[in-house]
């Protein structure tokens, strides 16, 4: 076990029990649209339901982790199985015999996936994997931004974690395409044009909009030190149409907002 993770050895049983109860209660409930919902496509490849939580299309704010998880951690979003076929999206339920695993493709420094148990697993290296379940899987692992890691960068605000799904069961489904979570320690909010959150919209906010304006399907990357460098701050202020970019549609919404005041 890595030195940075030795701190978890004591008291992990309590953490296992506490978060295990949470995971069990979630697993017993109905299918969650907030989970990553797994099925197969018509080519027999593992795939993610586009009407659930799609990692590549979303940011997820991790709450403060507490004693056992210094930094930020959460057991959501989870992984659930598709119940009803959705031919319009080319995704179908898995069949009996599946044995689905989650493999690490790559993660940012100071991020790890924690599999609770005795002992727990800490996955942060490409090729490491864990068992999710069979064709009726519903599993909640723990995503953790470790502020005690020597690799933790306090100026970072988004951590990327890429995975793929594979099957070692008799169904032998093809591996999924890799998918990437975008975790942040900044609370997401509805866009209001107030970048500096000083309760007004002024020339400073307009300057921030110009720096954040990256275009459709592009991650905002402001380089102006007066604006900041975190894409989530741009999205919070200016992503009016909630598509995780800042483009001309958002610019028009900002102008309409200013004109209405």
What would the pLDDT profile of 98-112 be if each residue is shown by its tens digit?
Answer: 999 999 999 999 999
Q: How confident is the model at residue 57 (pLDDT cuts 50, 70, 90)?
A: confident
Give yes or no: residues 104 and 46 share one domain. yes
Residue 82, phi then psi, degrees to nearest 5 = -75, 135
Give yes or no: residues 224 and 154 share one domain. no
SS3 134: coil
Q: Count of domains in the chain? A: 2
SS3 102: strand
Does residue 105 lie within any of the structural domains? yes
Is residue 224 within 8 A of residue 207, CB to CB? The reply is yes
Q: Find, among 98, 182, 95, 172, the residue nearest to 132 by Cα.
A: 98
What strand order describes the sheet that includes 71-74? 71-74, 142-146, 111-115, 121-123
Give yes or no: residues 103 and 220 share one domain. no
pTM of this structure: 0.82
Residue 89, phi then psi, degrees to nearest 5 = -105, 5
SS3 32: coil
Q: How confident is the model at residue 212 (pLDDT cuts 50, 70, 90)?
A: very high
The pLDDT value recorded for residue 11 is 37
Give yes or no: residues 179 and 210 share one domain. no
Give yes or no: residues 56 and 125 share one domain. yes
Rounded CA separation 173/93 (Å): 12
Give yes or no: residues 142 and 213 share one domain. no
Q: Name the percent of the chain lying above pLDDT 90.
A: 74
The pLDDT value recorded for residue 261 is 76
The pLDDT value recorded for residue 33 is 57
Residue with tokens 């991650």: 219
State whether the Cα torsion 260-230-219-159 is positive or negative: negative
Give yes or no: residues 170 and 216 share one domain. no
Q: Find, among 202, 193, 198, 224, the residue nearest to 211 by Cα.
A: 224
> 261 or 79: which carries more pLDDT confidence?
79
Give yes or no: residues 179 and 221 share one domain. no
Q: What is the mean pLDDT of residues 7-17?
A: 36
Does residue 193 lie within any of the structural domains? no
Range of the domain at 70: 3-184
The pLDDT value recorded for residue 155 is 87
Give yes or no: residues 159 and 212 share one domain. no
The pLDDT value recorded for residue 223 is 75
DSSP 142-210: EEEEETTSTT--TT--EEEEEEEEEE-STT-PBPPPPEEEEEESS------S-TT-SSS--HHHHHHHH
Is residue 181 within 8 A of residue 108, CB to CB? The reply is no
Q: Which residues on adjacent β-strands are paired with residue 146?
A: 71
Rounded CA separation 151/169 (Å): 37
């Amino acid at each position: 076990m890595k030195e940075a993770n030795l701190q978890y050895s004591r008291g992990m049983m309590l953490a296992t029990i506490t978060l295990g109860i949470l995971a069990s209660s979630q697993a017993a409930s109905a299918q969650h649209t907030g989970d990553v919902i797994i099925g197969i496509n018509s080519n027999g490849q593992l795939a993610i339901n586009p009407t659930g939580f799609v990692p590549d299309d979303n940011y997820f704010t991790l709450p403060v982790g507490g004693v056992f998880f210094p930094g930020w951690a959460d057991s959501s979003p989870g992984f659930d199985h598709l119940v009803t076929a959705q031919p319009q999206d080319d995704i179908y339920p898995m069949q009996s015999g599946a044995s689905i695993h989650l493999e690490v493709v790559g993660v940012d420094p100071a991020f790890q996936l924690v599999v609770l148990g005795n002992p727990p697993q800490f996955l942060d290296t490409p090729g490491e994997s864990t068992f999710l379940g069979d064709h009726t899987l519903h599993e909640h692992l723990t995503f953790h931004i470790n502020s005690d890691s020597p690799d933790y960068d306090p100026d970072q605000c988004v951590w990327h974690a890429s995975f793929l799904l594979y099957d070692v069961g008799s169904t032998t489904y093809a591996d999924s395409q890799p998918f990437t979570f975008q975790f942040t320690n900044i609370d997401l909010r509805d866009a209001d044009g107030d970048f500096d959150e000083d309760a007004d919209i002024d020339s400073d906010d307009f300057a921030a909009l110009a720096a954040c304006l990256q275009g459709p399907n592009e991650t905002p990357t402001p380089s102006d030190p007066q604006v900041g460098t975190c894409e989530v701050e741009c999205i919070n202020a200016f992503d009016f149409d909630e598509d995780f970019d800042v483009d001309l549609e958002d610019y028009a919404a900002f102008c309409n907002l200013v004109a209405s005041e």
